[in-house]
Amino acid sequence: MTDSPLRLLLDFDARSQRDQDQPPAFLHRRDRKFALTCAEQGQAPNARRWLEHMARLSGPGSKASAGQKTLRLWRRINTGFAFGGTVFGCLTMLGLLFYEGGQRINITVILAFVALQLLLALFTTAQSLVGWQPWRWLLRRLAPERNSETRSRLQPMLMARAAQLGGVSFAVTGVLTLLLMVVVQDLAFGWSTTLDTGASSYHQLLTTLAAPWAALWPAAVPDLALVEATRFFRTGAGAGTDTIAPERWGQWWPFVTMLWVSWVLTPRLLLFLASILLLRRKARQLLVNHPAMHALLYRMETPTLDTGNHHNDAADLPDTDTQTSLQPLPDSNLLLCWAGAGEPALPQTLVSEQTQLFRAGGRASLAEDQAALADIANQLAANPEPAVIVITRSWEPPTGELEDFLASARELWPTGTRVALVPLSLDSEREPEPHQLSQWLRFADRLGTGFASVSVPRLHWRDPHAALNADARLEPGTESRKLT
| 418 against 453, higher pLDDT | 418
Mean pLDDT of 439-458: 50
Q: Is the pLDDT of residue 327 over 90?
A: no
| Same domain membership, residue 278 and residue 333 | no
pLDDT of residue 240: 46
Flag the least confident range among 32-41, 348-357, 397-406, 444-453: 444-453
**Cross-strand pairs, 239:** none
Percent of the chain with pLDDT over 70: 75
Q: Is the pLDDT of residue 255 over 90?
A: yes
Confirm whether 472 is domain-assigned. no
Question: Is residue 129 helix, strand or coil?
Answer: helix
| Same domain membership, residue 267 and residue 210 | yes
- Torsion angle defined by CA atoms of residues 402, 404, 406 and 408, in that order, rounded to the nearest 10 degrees: -140
Instruction: Give residue 298's Cα distance to chain centre.
Output: 29
| Same domain membership, residue 168 and residue 92 | yes
CB 395 within 8 A of CB 436: yes
Q: Is the pLDDT of residue 161 over 50?
A: yes
| Same domain membership, residue 262 and residue 113 | yes
Flag the least confident range among 120-134, 234-248, 360-374, 453-467: 453-467
Confirm whether 290 is domain-assigned. no
Q: Is the pLDDT of residue 339 over 90?
A: no
Percent of the chain with pLDDT over 90: 23
What is the rounded average pLDDT for all residues in the chain? 78
pLDDT of residue 457: 35
Q: Name the helix (H) or strand (E) containing 438.
A: helix 434-445
C-alpha atoms less than 13 angstroms from C-alpha of 118 in its C-beta half-sphere: 15
Confirm whether 126 is domain-assigned. yes
Confirm whether 428 is domain-assigned. yes
pLDDT of residue 428: 59
- Label residue 128 by pLDDT band (50, 70, 90): confident
Cα angle, residue 303 at apex, residues 299 and 308 outer, rounded to 5°:
100
**Cross-strand pairs, 334:** 356
| Same domain membership, residue 437 and residue 334 | yes
CB 267 within 8 A of CB 259: no
Confirm whether 230 is domain-assigned. yes
Confirm whether 132 is domain-assigned. yes
| Same domain membership, residue 332 and residue 281 | no
| Same domain membership, residue 130 and residue 240 | yes
**pLDDT one-digit tens code per residue, 81-96:** 999 999 999 999 999 9
| 273 against 315, higher pLDDT | 273
Domain boundary among 222, 256, 285: 285
Mean pLDDT of 327-355: 77
Task: Let me know if 295 is exposed, middle or buried by CB neighbors in 10 A (0-12, 13-18, 19+).
Answer: middle
Domain boundary among 265, 285, 305: 285
| Same domain membership, residue 384 and residue 272 | no
| Same domain membership, residue 215 and residue 78 | yes
| 176 against 424, higher pLDDT | 176
- Torsion angle defined by CA atoms of residues 244, 249, 254 and 260, in that order, rounded to the nearest 10 degrees: 130
| 476 against 483, higher pLDDT | 476
Confirm whether 86 is domain-assigned. yes
| Same domain membership, residue 438 and residue 350 | yes
Domain of residue 109, residue span: 66-285
Could you tell me the CA-to-CA distances from 188 to 198, 243, 247, 253 in Å, in that order?
21, 15, 8, 9
**pLDDT one-digit tens code per residue, 202-251:** 999 999 999 999 999 998 999 898 888 888 765 554 344 455 666 677 78
CA atoms of 367 and 360, how far apart (whole Å) = 10
| Same domain membership, residue 386 and residue 277 | no
Mean pLDDT of 294-311: 72
CB 13 within 8 A of CB 148: yes
Q: Biggest alpha carbon distance in the chain?
A: 112
CA atoms of 325 and 480, how far apart (whole Å) = 21
Domain boundary among 226, 257, 285: 285
Mean pLDDT of 69-81: 88
Domain total of the chain:
2
Question: Is residue 195 helix, strand or coil?
Answer: coil
| Same domain membership, residue 87 and residue 161 | yes
pLDDT of residue 384: 79
Confirm whether 53 is domain-assigned. no
